[in-house]
Amino acid sequence: MQEDFFDASDKEAALVSNLAAHVAQLRAEINRHAHAYYVLDTPTIPDAEYDRLFSELQTLELQHPDLKTPDTPTLRVGGTALPEFTQVQHAVAMLSLNNGFEEADIIAFDRRVKDGLATQQPVEYAIDLKFDGLAINLRYIDGVFAQAATRGDGFTGEDVTENIRTIRTIPLRLNMAKPPAILDVRGEVLMFKSDFDNLNARQRAAGAKEFANPRNAAAGSLRQLNSKITALRSLRFFPYGIGALEGVALPESHRALLDWYRAIGIPVCEENAVVQGVEALLEFYQAIQIKRASLPYEIDGVVYKVNAFSAQQTLGFVSRAPRFAIAHKFPAQEALTTVLDIEVQVGRTGAITPVARLAPVFVGGVTVTNATLHNEEEIQRKDIRIGDTVSVRRAGDVIPEVVVSILDKRPLDALTFVMPTQCPVCGSAIVKLEDEAIARCSGGWIKCAAQRKGGLVHFASRKAMNIDGMGEQLIDQLVYRHVVTTAADLYKLGFVALAELDRMGEKSAKNILAALETSKTTTFARFIYALGIRHVGEATAKDLAARFGNVDALVNADEEQLLAVSDVGPVVARSLRNFFSDPLNIELIQQLIASGIHWPEVQQYADAVLPLTGKTLVLTGSLPTLNRDQASELIEKNGGKVAGSVSKKTSYVVAGDDAGSKLLKAQELNITVLSEAELLKMCSGNAET
């Protein structure tokens, strides 16, 4: 009997361990796909697949709260700002929406709303279309357009003011006698279908690359560094909400807000409604789905919001999304075709992705010839073979994927896919770790040209070496023309080599050289992070810098020493040893240091007791003088850790203006709330911790 008890305990422990590993893998996969979609505008999976992963993670975290971590993507929105643009901190966070796919999801949403409002009467809802574009915040000061920023990660976006000025439907001055002191208009920038067709016709005539769909065209146009190019792209804008508002009273409802926008000169989409009850929501959804193809713009669903702002305030928010709204998404579009071949592509991080080469098929408005198969395990799970007839879906009208193989149509000579053992680009071994579903090229960005561009972009990024002006487009040219092979080559660039590049005049070349020189003065933590070592993020780089203090100590550290560092587990330790065991990586480090890169001596504090040692802090709202990065750095320098959400493990919450749900959560849990002044005083050693 006792033996059976231990067997059961062991099995339970194994199940918990497997579940934790699965949740960690889900988070990593969601973060990777979110970065590709929101930051790079190059989606790697269909929206439906991303939504499925996100929903699975939410469900698992709800069922197992102990598996929820401060860095889970369910607590955050989207991705971070691009380094080519000035960053803008949103006065009010731009949150995302939860999604519904079936009628049951919407019925459940309506039931939650009624429970939250303590009513059984039909709720009044406002309905808007869910445009397939790019979320934007427009700021008007005293009625004059002053700034525009993308959503970014929800808290910090990209300044695209000059490009937004080119959109003729957006007023540069509001049509009102007494405008608000500040008005943040939230909405979507998009491209109409006809404008998209005209743009691609011009691209073909010029021999340039065509855009895949209107959403990509709109995002690419808005992120042009030259606003003259944006002006030629015929972008449009429709509002869907509001951020900060000062100097006038907020309208009483969402519909009243849209009517007010229309009255002061901001264009409003006419396809909207105010209805009573959940049945009316579903009727609108069915009607607009039928009308979808005839609309002048692309949509991928509709958005339902409780109409009254007072009711919205009562319902509030949960984590990353409002309780008073939900997006009802359309089902993905599918078609049948044949798998002609299965090849592999090498991604920027070395990920080996099998890709199905398909007989051309028209799906979701475009001709599809390729579809992602994700990884080897996915191919085996779906049993997809070369020669099969398969169902292809363009979920969210973005990236095609193979949904299922039609077994009764399988030919006798169908071939099973075999994952290659060597990278098709550099010949390095393809490896697959036990805890990952994705196989990777082991060559790294130093050896493998397919990974080189991504590695260099990361090296030059703001949180790494912070080389101002060294963006993706410039690195593209440097790699394509074989001017740069490794990061050390960046510091060998001369004026002539830069000046000969496209859109790189004398002044720009001098600015890049100056930025390279400036970047040589950095920190040890930034240098570690810039190397792009797998699994080593900003926080881990800071911990490694603090523990080892210099390059030699870090390079020569064994796994036991590495495992002694906070938050470094076996996977990270193994990754570090693999990196520093490669002579090419050591040579790169030596070349970088020889080029003049240096940093102040690191004061090792791993064993010291600092003012915030052992404390976990959460930041919320806008602080008077410190931005989020500066406040985080201050906390970490004083021994503390910065978390993204409030829990019982939180030591302090640092709150500024417009603090939201995190402040309320802290008050509920009786967690001490600090002002910026109190944080500064504490870090100076003048307060008890």
Active site residues: 130
Helix, strand and coil percent figures for the chain, each rounded to 5: 40, 20, 35
Q: How far is CA 228 from the centre of its chain?
A: 27
What are the beta bridge partners of residue 124? 276
Nearest in space to 336 (alpha carbons), one of 365, 366, 368 = 368
How far is the C-alpha of 237 from the C-alpha of 215, rounded, in Å?
13
* Token reading at 7: 């067997």
**Triad 307, 116, 329: Cα angle to 5°:** 55
**Residues constituting the chain:** 689
Quote the crossing angle between the two packed helices 628-637 and 676-683, to the nearest 10°.
30
For residue 564, the tally of other CB atoms under 10 A from its CB is 12
CB neighbours of 109 closer than 8 A, spacing ≥ 6? 100, 304, 326
Q: Which residue blocks in 242-401 are alpha helix, DSSP H? A: 254-263, 278-291, 309-315, 376-382
- 3-state secondary structure labels for all residues of 505-543: CHHHHHHHHHHHHHHCECCHHHHHHHCCCCCCCHHHHHH
Q: How far are the Cα atoms of 159, 164, 189, 197, 628 from residue 218, in angstroms, in the given order?
A: 16, 11, 7, 12, 29
Q: Cα dist. 148→88, 263, 543, 639 in Å?
A: 9, 21, 36, 37
**Beta-carbon contacts of residue 333 (< 8 Å; ≥ 6 apart):** 363, 364, 393, 394, 397
What are the beta bridge partners of residue 161?
Answer: none
Measured distance CA(268)–CA(242) in Å, rounded: 13
Question: What six digits make up the tokens of 344?
Answer: 């592999």
State the angle between helix axes of 570-580 and 583-594 in degrees (0 to 180), rounded to the nearest 10: 70
Q: What SS3 state is found at 483?
A: coil
SS3 (DSSP) at 674? strand
Residues 344/355, Cβ–Cβ less than 8 Å:
yes
- How large is the C-alpha radius of gyration of the chain? 26
Is residue 24 a contact partner of residue 55, using CB atoms and an 8 Å limit? Answer: no
Distance of CA 24 to the CA centre of its chain: 17
Tokens representing residue 290 in the block: 């039928």
DSSP conformational letter for 167 = -
The two tokens of residue 71 are 């860095």
Cβ-proximal residues to 584 (8 Å cutoff; 6+ apart), any chain: 444, 446, 447
Sign of the four-CA dihedral 435, 438, 440, 444 = negative
- DSSP result, 570-616: HHHHHHHHHHHT-HHHHHHHHHHHHTT-B-PPP---TTS--TTTT-E
- State the Cα–Cα distance between residues 11 and 220, nearest whole angstrom: 51
Rounded CA gap, 545 and 625, in Å? 27
